[in-house]
Structure 1
């Protein structure tokens, strides 16, 4: 493994919050797990990771307590977000990037000011590019479908707590980095999600190339940017612009 002085680290972040829309909602807990490039050129988990509870400065709605089970009395004496965020988000040795599953959510709370302008890898978007055959792309579906090597089951529990979720995501990120370059993951992460299958309507579950032209045209105006982007890519493919999803060996030969 690389020495600390030459470490190249990507820090995986997970947040638990009072809701999904800041500034009305705030952070309750931040968890992290590092992934580091070794001397052998392979990426591996690095260090023990950790988590810090955060005082959100407001009540925790029951609907979100039912997800993460963090009690108001547990965070009443916890530090404020601005007192802990930067030390976690911008660690030494300086990280190459931050990562999260559905990173758009974390980025709402982890502003460029707090991250020192870090790049972000979205493991949800990258999973759809690299592993389109997965039955789903949530952190936990990927966990049980892929069964990442070295993932300690108990250490990844309970679900919907900051450190266990970051720990699971870090295994996905490690394997992604060992399949594709960081530059490629960042490129995918900066685009809308490329959905392997239609996820709503009568054609739900079909691959995009299976649906009729008229149906595809309806998706071109969809309000969801991921659906709209995927439909646009399939539309371009039908006009000779490439393939939506991962090319199979058979298709590459053709």
Structure 2
């Protein structure tokens, strides 16, 4: 059913403190890479209610999907002022007021980044009306702005434009005051706007800009140039980082972090695959003291089948720091220690009636079969009752599930990952199961490959698993990378 005008506007909420209801339209979802295209502000003060809005020239193209959603085109913003020309005006309207928005971290994050680019500081107490709706009306499952419009009978004729949506948020605020007494509303506001508890050595504004986006975070100690204490990933950086400092840490590492953290850095990614790849690479490079590590470096190993004689293949233990696992054929396993590798091979041998002598797990006794044959668990390849080629074939079949997949491409590839709005695309550059880096622009791809040069990147077990799984499941687009043609 089409929207209908309200028979009468909602009664205004009683004034308690200055408020601004804010909505933005943008070129995408990433506050670092995307830009604002429109600002709408409804101001509430003791003097009454005023409203202000402006289109903004973002300086970059607006993706077609966003143009269709907002009805804001590149032509409409071509003659609009850039944010730099509006910054003082916007700052004056926001300063000293409770910042109210729907999915407020989105709008607040974009504005903070725009102000930062101009060297201006902006901090505000932020109230998210999604969270306010959930807090006051937990019986409802949907709290999107569309859901609130339907549930509370809100109306504005220019839906999905900045000022229109800001007015809808203001209407929602007034509707709440017509439905509930002021005390529970402001009790909810106080709860939702309380600053999270931070480590004692972090300044209050240190985590204001943490986005609710995928990425990797690094926690540092007191030394300015020291190694990170902890590295983690999340699909929601803000939520995950604050969970470490919630004040009710059950994990001893979180307690240690809260006492030791002096600085937090983060790196956003377009999606979860990029976050996992970057985390694996950083963990391998830094090995932070508060992360749990399975084993010390240099112990990753695998079994390689080596042909001792025609048709006679034997397993040989090889180490990742001695052999490039990404470029070597006939590898099986991936184990964190030689002991783990031998135990696994023994179980496989016993399950498939293979000879422990030929597996290298037992010494050959001259003129005698292996111990397993005496126990009727070996088919006699050690004493001529089974041919070596038959034993080798059974060994290969038994190890098949453990085979490390050989690199199926002629050279490096790019794994394409997009964010929810498809306005940001990350291209993860990978070669022989090694993650080399991530590019957002074409020229960055070749910079990454040139930096790598002819040196093979170190093979990492977790990175191999992530890339292999993503490709096998079709979770990402695979783009084979062909070097650009150099001008003559």
Aligned position for 2:171: 171
Aligned position for 2:75: 73
1:20 and 1:26 map into 2 onto residues whose CA distance is 9
Please list the CA deviations of residues 155-206 of structure 1 after superposition, one character each: whole Å capped at 9, or x if unmatched. Answer: x1222100010000012233456354556415314589xxxxxxxxxxxxxx
Higher relative contact order (CA 8 A, sep 6+): 1
1:186 and 1:145 map into 2 onto residues whose CA distance is 24
Deviation for aligned residue 1:21: 0.7
Counterparts in 2 of 1:7 and 1:129: CA distance versus 1, 3 Å: closer
Match of 1:132 among 122, 129, 138: 138
Aligned position for 1:236: none
1:174 and 1:95 map into 2 onto residues whose CA distance is 21
SS in structure 1 of the partner of residue 37 of structure 2: strand
8 Å contact kept, 1:86–1:115: no
Q: How does 1:28-47 map onto structure 2 within 5 Å?
A: 28-36=37-45, 46-47=48-49
> Does 2:94 match 1:85?
no
> Does 2:189 match 1:185?
yes
Q: How does 1:1-254 map onto structure 2 within 5 Å?
A: 8-36=17-45, 46-91=48-93, 95-111=96-112, 116-147=122-153, 153=155, 156-176=156-176, 178=182, 180=184, 182=186, 184-189=188-193, 225=239
2:92 and 2:45 map into 1 onto residues whose CA distance is 15
Counterparts in 2 of 1:25 and 1:32: CA distance versus 1, 3 Å: same
Q: How many residues align?
A: 183
Gaps of 5+ in 1: 1-5, 39-45, 193-221, 233-254
Deviation for aligned residue 1:83: 1.9
TM-score of the two chains, using structure 1 as the length reference:
0.61
Larger Rg: 2
Aligned position for 2:395: none
Please list the CA deviations of residues 201-242 of structure 1 after superposition, one character each: whole Å capped at 9, or x if unmatched. Answer: xxxxxxxxxxxxxxxxxxxxx95549xx8xx9xxxxxxxxxx
Aligned position for 2:319: none
Deviation for aligned residue 1:108: 1.5
User: How much is the aligned-residue C-alpha RMSD, in angstroms?
Assistant: 3.4
SS in structure 2 of the partner of residue 110 of structure 1: helix
1:47 and 1:172 map into 2 onto residues whose CA distance is 15
8 Å contact kept, 1:119–1:186: no
1:19 and 1:79 map into 2 onto residues whose CA distance is 19
